[in-house]
Each structure stands twice: as C-alpha cells, then as structure tokens.
Structure 1
Amino acid sequence: MSLAKAYLQIEGGTQIPCLYNPEQLSLSRRNSWSAPSMPGKGVSTAQFNGTESASMSLELKFDTTLEGVPVTNYTGKILALMEPDPSLAGSDETSNNARPRTVTFGWGNLQSFESVITSLSLTFTYFSESGTPLRADMSLTLMQYQQSDAFGPQNPTSGTPRPHRVHRVQPGETLDRISARYYGDATKWRALASANGLEDPLAVRPGTVLSIPRLGSA
C-alpha cells in the first residue's frame, strides 16, 4: 500500500507536490446575518444577507536535507503564487487589472474548492553550514474562489472503505511505540510497516508521515 501524497494544483495545470502530508486541515464558513435595531422596538428578526466564501488552513513541512538542495526550490514556487499574473485571461496591465493564479489542494480522493492564497507564513528552521535553508514550515490560508461542492456529502462507495489516520514520526519514536499509542498493543507494529511499505522498521526517520490503518476496533 502506497501512501497518497498531497499536492497543490495550480490554475493552468502545474502541480506542486507537498513533501510531507499535512497532519490536519481546518475549514471555516460563515453566513452573513443582520438584525438592525429600531428605536422603541425589541429584538428584530434576523435577515439573511448571503453566504461568505469558505476558508481552509493547513500547515506544510519541507525538508531537503537528503537532497542537498535549497528548500526554497519548493517554497519559492508557492510564495510566487501570491503575485499577480498578467498572463491570465482578462488581465490588463494598463489598468492594473491582474490577479494571482488560483490553487486547489488535493490529497488522494480529497480535493478542495478552487482557492486563492490569502495568507502565507514561512519559517526556515534548519540551514547548511553555508547558510542554505534546508527545512521550512509554512502556514497557508486559502479562500474559496467560486461556488463549489467540495467537502460536501460524498458517495460512500467512492471513497476509501477503511479510512485511515496519519502520524508524523517524532524524534526517538519507533514503530512499536506508535503501535502502542494507536492500537494499545505494541506488537501490532508489523501492520504499520506493511501499510507504509517499510523494509527496515527500525529506521523510521523523524518527520516521516505514516498511514495508520484502522484494524478491527482500533
């Protein structure tokens, strides 16, 4: 079983892979209501003023230590998505009418609504001796660009029949300890090794994201 990798689908067809799958996604939506007060009156009936665009937040980690290349090779592509792109249809540089490209987050069977990046925070956390950044944490906030059915009710036959969790390996953790945490039984570590295609279960690198399959009542 191979673990599906998350990605960012850029308007126009380009895809940027996420080096590590996020541990969680946060989704928020708001409806606009108003209840104007009137002199000499009690509480007035609330009036619906429409639905606001949804937003999604996620944390991404990047590590190019093993590759030996700057981590900016990946983070720079995402950072550039906040810049207006005058090559998009409908752009007019003479009137300053341009916008950044839209982004869609995908992960296996999950696909978000088409979005624009409204907020990005990037922190470099590890550098080579020459000062080249090799690890980074990125926080993204995406705002829904247009009407979408993403995150709505799904056909149960179209998704994964046995949903799984994910776990990011921390320094000092081993498969048997992770097995004990999720299954209450350290001896079930072989299920984790099999689900993640690990040939050497003793050499699990910190930062690796493991699929945690649900076993029976686990």
Structure 2
Amino acid sequence: MALTEKAYLKIEKSADNIPCMFNPSELTLSQSNDWDSKPAPGKGAPQISFKGVKSGTMSLSLVFDTTSTGETVTIHTNKVMALMDIDESLPGTDKTTRNARPPTVTFHWGNFHSFEAVATGLKLTFTYFSSTGTPLRAKIDLDLMQFKDPDQHPKQNPTSGTPEPHRVHRVKPGETLDRISAQYYGDSTKWRQIATANTISDPLAIRVGSLLSIPRNH
C-alpha cells in the first residue's frame, strides 16, 4: 500500500468524524472562472466578459482499514456513501417544493482543512478481505465541489453565486510562514493570515510536506 497519513472527514450535522488514511501525493484542487464569449458573424475574435468565479473542486483518494479490529470496513465506508443521499433533516429542506439536498463534508489532514463541500462523485473499491469474506480495507475516490467559503468572505462577484476558494501550498524544506506570505502576498508581515486560516499556534513549527490553506488577500 502507498504511504498514507491519518486524516478524517467531518459530515454536516454528524457528531462523529470518519477516520481514514490519505496519500498526500493524490490531492488535486481545481479552480476556474466563468467567461462569456458571443461571436458575431463576419467579425474577428469577440470581446469576452467576466461572469464570476466558479466553485472550487477537489479530488481525494482515501483508504479505510479495519484489519486491526477485524470489523467490517463498511462501518466507515457506508457513512461516506451517505454523502450521495438526500437528507431531509438538513437546513433548507422544503417538502412542499421538494427542495432537499445531501449533506456537506469537510476534509481534515494535519493543518489542512478543506472548504465545505458536497460530493459530486464517489467510487468505492474493496481491496482486502478476511478469510470469511469480511471486507477489511477499502479505497474511496471522492470528488468534491465547494459549497461555501470556510471564512464566509464576501462573494467576489455579485453574479457568481459562489465565493472564491483558498489556494493550497505544500511546505518545502527551509520555508517559514513569513517567506510563504511574501511569496503569495508580496508582504512577509501578512503571515498571520495563513496562521489563522490553518489554526497554527506556533509559526516556527510548520511541518515540511504539510499542506497549508492560503487565504485570498483581504
């Protein structure tokens, strides 16, 4: 199995975290903007207009393992699968208009905390079984889309409908928060924005290889 590290999923309105193992080489985040192009007959390239920021997306490959206890790994994977199911107990549900949605989820790994998201795709693969056929290890490939900004920043464009997601930085040897701040903001004194976003109490104790959420400058 590839080298993995402990992580967990936090599902909306659930009191329990879902433990998992995460391969840090498989974290993919994407961001895109919406531009409108209206070609006109007989003319060259048209002027395009900015329509807003689209929701951020993230893809994860998570491992769930219960070989140490012998319990079926479905005690964890079933909870993740429920991210695709409608939950009528969630805020915003209106049975008269049949308005309901699945729950949101956030991914946590060390100092990295994802934006609040909804699952748009999920693939479950059982990879190891006991001699009696009990599944003990599984992999879930999970596709997430940003639901709202974690810091509730104002929307970047009144027509976009979605806030702008944070960027992510992997800490390299010799890097410090003030150097990272200078890289992204052009100002080393704004390192506290990064520390606050990642709940870092000791700015000198950031771990090489860890992922930091980099807030948009404000």
TM-score past 0.5 threshold? yes
Q: Distance in 2 between matches of 1:34 and 1:93?
A: 36
Q: Residue by residue, what CA displacement relative to the aligned partner does 1:83-134 show, whole Å, maximum 9, x if unpaired?
A: 1111112313343221111111122322111100111100001111221111
Q: Which residue of 2 aligns with 1:156?
A: 191
Unaligned stretches of 5+ residues in structure 1: 167-218
Q: Which whole-Å CA distance do the structure 1 matches of 2:93 and 2:40 have between them?
A: 45
Give the structure 1 partner of residue 7 of structure 2.
Answer: 6
- After TM superposition, give the deviation of residue 10 of structure 1 in Å: 1.6
| Mapped partners of 1:48, 1:119: distance in 2 | 28
Aligned partner of 2:156 in structure 1 is none
SS at match of 1:125: strand
- The alignment covers a number of residue pairs equal to 164
Post-superposition CA distance 1:179-208 (Å, at most 9, x none)? xxxxxxxxxxxxxxxxxxxxxxxxxxxxxx
From the CA coordinates, give the structure whose radius of gyration is larger: 1
Percent identical among aligned pairs is: 46
The amino acid that maps onto 1:116 is V
Instruction: Give the structure 2 partner of residue 22 of structure 1.
Output: 23
Q: Provide the residue aligned with 1:89 in structure 2.
A: 91
* Distance across 2 between alignment mates of 1:116 and 1:14: 18
Residue aligned with 1:130, SS: coil
Letter in 2 for 1:18: P
Please state whether the residue corresponding to 1:80 is helix, strand or coil.
Answer: helix
Residues 87 and 30 of structure 1: CA distance in aligned 2, closer, same or farther (over 3 Å)? same
Please give the alpha-carbon distance, in whole angstroms, between the structure 2 residues aligned to 1:119 and 1:132: 25
How is 1:25-174 mapped onto 2 (pairs within 5 angstroms)?
Answer: 25-148=27-150, 151-152=166-167, 156=191, 158=195, 159=200, 161=204, 162-165=206-209
Which amino acid counterpart does residue 16 of structure 1 have in structure 2?
N
Point out the more displaced range, 30-39 or 150-159: 150-159
Residue 57 of structure 2 aligns with an amino acid whose one-letter code is S
Aligned-partner Cα distance in 2 for 1:32–1:15? 37
Structure 1 pair 148–33 and aligned structure 2 pair: CA distance change class (3 A): farther
Greater shift after overlay, 14-23 or 119-128?
14-23
Q: Could you tell me the TM-score, scaled by structure 2's length?
A: 0.67
- Residue aligned with 2:83, SS: helix
1:8 and 1:15 in contact (8 A); partners too: no
RMSD of the alignment, in Å? 2.4
Q: Could you tell me how far apart the structure 1 residues matched to 2:111 and 2:16 are?
A: 16
Q: Distance in 1 between matches of 2:100 and 2:14?
A: 19
SS in 2 for 1:79: helix
Q: 1:165 to 1:49 in 2, by over 3 A?
A: same
TM-score of the superposition, structure 1-length normalised? 0.67
Checking the alignment, whether the CA contact within 8 Å between 2:22 and 2:61 is kept in structure 1 is no
Give the match's secondary structure for 1:78.
Answer: helix
SS of 1:106's partner is strand
Query: Following the alignment from structure 1 to structure 2, what is the Cα–Cα distance between the partners of residues 127 and 50?
Result: 47
Structure 1 counterpart of 2:105, one-letter code? V
Please tell me whether the aligned partners of residues 105 and 117 of structure 2 are also in contact (alpha carbons under 8 angstroms). Answer: yes
Where do 4+ consecutive residues of structure 1 move more than 4 Å? Answer: 152-155
